[in-house]
Amino acid sequence: MLNVLKINRNIRSIRRYLNIVRVLSTYGFDQVLELLGLADVVVRSRRLFRRSIPDIARLTAAERMRLVLEELGPTFIKLGQILSTRPDVIPHAFVHEFEKLQDNVPSFSFEEVLAQITGELGGPVEQFFAEIDPVPLAAASIAQVHRARLKTGEEVAIKVRRPGIVEVVESDIGALMSLAGLAERHVPGSELYDPVGIVREFARTIRREMDFSREAHTIEKFRDNFIKTGWMYFPRVYWEQCSRGVLTMEYVAGIKVTDRQKLVDQGIDLKLVARRGADSFLEMVLTHGFFHGDLHPGNVLILPDNVICVLDYGIVGRLDDELKTFLTDILSAIVNRDMDEVVSLLLFAGDISDSLDIRALKRDLFNFIDGYYEIPLKEIEVGRMLMEFIEIITLYSIRIPSDLMLLAKSLVLIEGMGRALDPAFDMVEHLRPFIAKALRQKASPRRITRELQQVLSSYLSLARNIPRDLKEIINRINRNKFKIDLEHRGLDKFTADFDRSINRLSTSMILAAVIIGSSIIMQTDKGPKFMGFPVFAFMGYTVAGFVGLWLVYAIIRSGRM
């Protein structure tokens, strides 16, 4: 039974893989597919699916790729949304286009909602809920949300996972992993971007987002982190009505942060809300190292008494102590316009290629800082400045952790909301106390002692392992079992072209032999005859003619005469 399921899953993956190739070819990405070594698949797909998109030539590559992701469905829309936060991986034009991707999907039926809840919670819906509104509050590619009431009377919001979405996503991840592997083998320089690593990171992110039990724990963790902060509110989770595919939490009725007039009418202090929002986000990042990664205005509600409530915890970012230290140092250096320190930090912490032009990097960074030199600090948008800084270092193929990219994007959103609420909002003013606190902690005797202990422990471990490792290497050499694996990159296309050439040459030789044999038979009078000619000779010429024409057609079709 397990083998049958595995075969079915593999068939679905292959089918999806071919569909991805077809859509890419339809939208004019044949050159990309040829780079991946899929030229033969492209030719076959053209024969089977002769579909054309009107005005496709007028669209840019970025616009065409956005259409590709939209046609391929939820998994690829999510991939595009995540890539829109990674200007270090894709060009700026693609980042701008992918930001337009929305989960514009129809809601699934109420009957399916009830079936999902019953299957996930292990009992009839009436056992857990007094009533459920059949009209969804929101619908997205992974789930949709319904308002409901518990049997104990509490108003709740139920987030229900879309039926079959897990199987669809897993099939898409398998196809994406295959394409990423082809990119690493065939596309020169792809190792700088680590396609397989990007797909693995995406798979981890979307799998976490589909597991609603993780999201429930995330809400609880945020509540614990801000338990002493009276002006941050997090919905209550009802664990008895939760599972991996169903999340039941308190229904929060608030005012959207974008509804400025309604906020004013309700007596909300807009400046205070802007200040509290900035402080809470910076506390998430620089104190807890655990922050909300999808802080667009639709996920932020304002409650009475200037209380802020954040929704949708599917995407979160994490910064360990090392990343927090790097972020604090780099922000401090940028705000203080200390360019030598910025370059030093990048060289120490970034994933740098061997061909890095350090002198050119310093020149561009100095120009970047000079652009902000005359601007008063209160007018500097820290988020946009950080995004511009990331764009510069991306030009030099310096890779930085994805969580820092997510942080920069979130910082832009927070600043945008802050300035919409309060035109005089100054993020630098809020940032300075957190940076000063982080720098004090970095220089504290306890922190220095702990770091020294960690360094000493690492060196002691290295010293213990060196003799053993050397002994193992020598023993392998003595037993003739010391192996060095060499990987040839970029030879797959050459091998495929060489095989194709050999096959054509072999076919040509066989044709020549058939023609010569038929000519010899033609000179004899033995065997059956047709219209006065030997039948076997006539059959030989016919087969040779058809195969020869097919071979000439294939050569002309390939464009390589």
As annotated, the active-site residues are 294
For 222-280, the DSSP string reads: HHHHTTT-TTEE-PPB-GGG--SSEEEEE----EETT-HHHHHHTT--HHHHHHHHHHH
Residues 88 and 74: their CA atoms lie apart, in Å, by 23
Backbone angles phi, psi at 37, to 5 degrees: 80, 25
Backbone angles phi, psi at 131, to 5 degrees: -160, 155
Candidates 336, 416, 345, 334; CA nearest to 368 is: 334
Residues 501 and 526: their CA atoms lie apart, in Å, by 38
3 state DSSP class of 291: strand
3 state DSSP class of 399: strand
Considering just the CA atoms, what is the radius of gyration of the chain in Å?
31
Candidates 210, 170, 196, 171; CA nearest to 89 is: 196
Instruction: Measure CA of the first residue to CA of the last residue in the chain; give whole Å.
Output: 51
Count helices and strands in the chain by DSSP H and E runs? 21, 13
> Is residue 234 a contact partner of residue 254, using CB atoms and an 8 Å limit?
no
5 CB burial (10 A radius; 0-12, 13-18, 19+): exposed
Interacting residues of 417 by C-beta distance below 8 A, sequence separation 6+? 257, 274, 277, 295, 297, 300
Backbone angles phi, psi at 231, to 5 degrees: -105, 15
Residues 196 and 272: their CA atoms lie apart, in Å, by 45
Q: At what angle do helices 402-421 and 321-335 cross, to 10 degrees?
A: 50
Alpha helices in 422-491 (DSSP H): 427-442, 445-478
- The helix or strand, by DSSP H or E, that contains position 318, with its residue range, turns out to be strand 316-318
For residue 282, the tally of other CB atoms under 10 A from its CB is 19
For 144-166, the DSSP string reads: EEEEEEETTS-EEEEEEEPTTHH
Contacts from 186-192 at CB under 8 Å and sequence distance 24+?
A: 186/35, 186/36, 186/37, 186/490, 186/492, 186/493, 187/35, 187/36, 188/489, 188/490, 192/353, 192/397, 192/399
